[in-house]
Amino acid sequence: MAFFPSWVCVLVGSFSASLAGISNLSDIEPPLWKESPGQLGDYRVENSMYIINPWVYLERMGMYKIILNQTARYFAKFAPENEQNILWGLPLQYGWQYRTGRLADPTRRTNCGYESGDHMCISVDSWWADLNYFLSSLPFLAAVDSGIMGISSDQVRLLPPPKNERKFCYDVSSCRSSFPETMNKWNAFYQYLQSPFSKFDDLLKYLWAAHTSTLADNIKSFEDRYDYYSKAEAHFERNWVLAVDHLAAVLFPTTLIISYKFQKGMPPRILLNTDVAPFISDFTAFQNVVLVLLNMLGNVDKSIGYLCTEKSNVYRGHSESSSGSYGNNS
């Protein structure tokens, strides 16, 4: 059906890189960004290896913070303050998962991730946390592997969760052997990034190719998690995966300001079975509309052949022309 993608275009086209309403970029950073490790030396070292526990909110966020820091120089030509770094989408999405309770134990058998318990804990039973594991560890390890971090590939190890150890990989070599194609795609992104001739649109192509490949490798492993959620939330999770394919197809530019604005449309808490969009009273109109669109997406044929080439070109043209300033229209 041609009809859904056109809505994606409308939605995507409604964002701009304008700073309207944002007085300071540090106000739109993800939760606890400042408190997160910003360099490898902030982590524990054992036998000259950096040890990272990605099942603790700050330590996982630190991987993003380090990637953003180490790649900043390659995005400086597009805008100041690392604003056009397209890796911002990942930590912002992860921060949204944290803020909305999605990293907590959905079975409630433990207090992992709850305010009243261990609120920095990331639950291995959380569907969101499991997929985000690969969307943080693989880009991080590939950055190490591609030499951007200035350390050798065997100098970082991630710690396993308390159970289901075999579902994950923990260092460059094991992630390479479990997910060779995906790791190659992340590496290709970093290789291209280091080219002095890198173009914004092409960077997005490499990034989205790696992102969708990461999800495709891992979605099946965590299907059992859907049962831990309300039907409404599980439905949203499945639709979200489809939505990501659409965002990838239009090369949605996951820069800081645009990711932030997009996120305002995401559900601000875990969905309940009594939630019926567009009538969820504690959601904004934007959040209700996004949920309606996602539900429609789940119901239509997943054909993303054509897509709004013209609109997205206009849109991307904008993001390039705004380099040097944050754009001036909204």
Ligand X SMILES: *[C@@H]1O[C@H](CO)[C@@H](O)[C@H](O)[C@H]1NC(C)=O
Looking at the Cβ atoms of 190 and 315, the one nearer to ligand X is 190
Q: Is 69 in the site for ligand X (CB under 6 A)?
A: yes
Q: Is 160 in the site for ligand X (CB under 6 A)?
A: no
Q: Is 325 in the site for ligand X (CB under 6 A)?
A: no
Looking at the Cβ atoms of 61 and 251, the one nearer to ligand X is 61
Binding residue for ligand X, selected from 72, 216, 276, 314, defined by CB under 6 A: 72
Which residues within the stretch 82-111 sit at the binding site for ligand X (CB under 6 A)?
82
Looking at the Cβ atoms of 299 and 325, the one nearer to ligand X is 325
Q: Which two structure tokens, joined as six digits, stand for 13?
A: 């086209």
Can you spell out the DSSP letters for 146-200?
A: TTTTSS-GGGEEEPPPSS-GGG---SHHHHHHHSHHHHHHHHHHHHHHTSTT--H
Q: Is 39 in the site for ligand X (CB under 6 A)?
A: yes
Q: Is 194 in the site for ligand X (CB under 6 A)?
A: no
Q: Is 48 in the site for ligand X (CB under 6 A)?
A: no
Q: Is 2 in the site for ligand X (CB under 6 A)?
A: no
Among the listed residues 270, 265, 308, the one whose alpha carbon sits nearest the alpha carbon of residue 285: 265
Q: How far apart are CA 227 and CA 35, in angstroms?
A: 34
Q: How far apart are CA 109 and CA 70, in angstroms?
A: 39
Q: How many residues bind ligand X (CB under 6 A)?
A: 7
* DSSP-derived 3-state class of residue 93: helix
* Smallest separation (angstroms) from ligand X to the CB of 321: 23
* Smallest separation (angstroms) from ligand X to the CB of 66: 8
Q: How far apart are CA 315 and CA 297, in angstroms?
A: 22
Q: How far apart are CA 241 and CA 298, in angstroms?
A: 10
Strand order from edge to edge, sheet including 44-46: 44-46, 49-52, 156-158
- Max Cα separation, the chain? 56
Q: Is 272 in the site for ligand X (CB under 6 A)?
A: no
Looking at the Cβ atoms of 81 and 227, the one nearer to ligand X is 81
Q: Is 47 in the site for ligand X (CB under 6 A)?
A: no
Looking at the Cβ atoms of 69 and 174, the one nearer to ligand X is 69
Looking at the Cβ atoms of 72 and 276, the one nearer to ligand X is 72
Q: Is 38 in the site for ligand X (CB under 6 A)?
A: yes
HSE, CB side, 13 Å, CA atoms: give it for residue 250: 28
Contact yes or no for 260/326 (Cβ under 8 A): no
Q: How far apart are CA 312 and CA 314, in angstroms?
A: 5
* DSSP-derived 3-state class of residue 32: coil
Looking at the Cβ atoms of 67 and 158, the one nearer to ligand X is 67
* Smallest separation (angstroms) from ligand X to the CB of 285: 29
Binding residue for ligand X, selected from 3, 26, 116, 310, defined by CB under 6 A: 26
Neighbour tally for 131: CB within 10 Å: 22
Q: Is 42 in the site for ligand X (CB under 6 A)?
A: no
Q: Is 14 in the site for ligand X (CB under 6 A)?
A: no
Q: Is 155 in the site for ligand X (CB under 6 A)?
A: no
Q: Is 21 in the site for ligand X (CB under 6 A)?
A: no
Which run of H or E residues covers position 50? Answer: strand 49-52
Q: Is 147 in the site for ligand X (CB under 6 A)?
A: no
Binding residues for ligand X, rule: CB under 6 A, are 24, 26, 38-39, 69, 72, 82
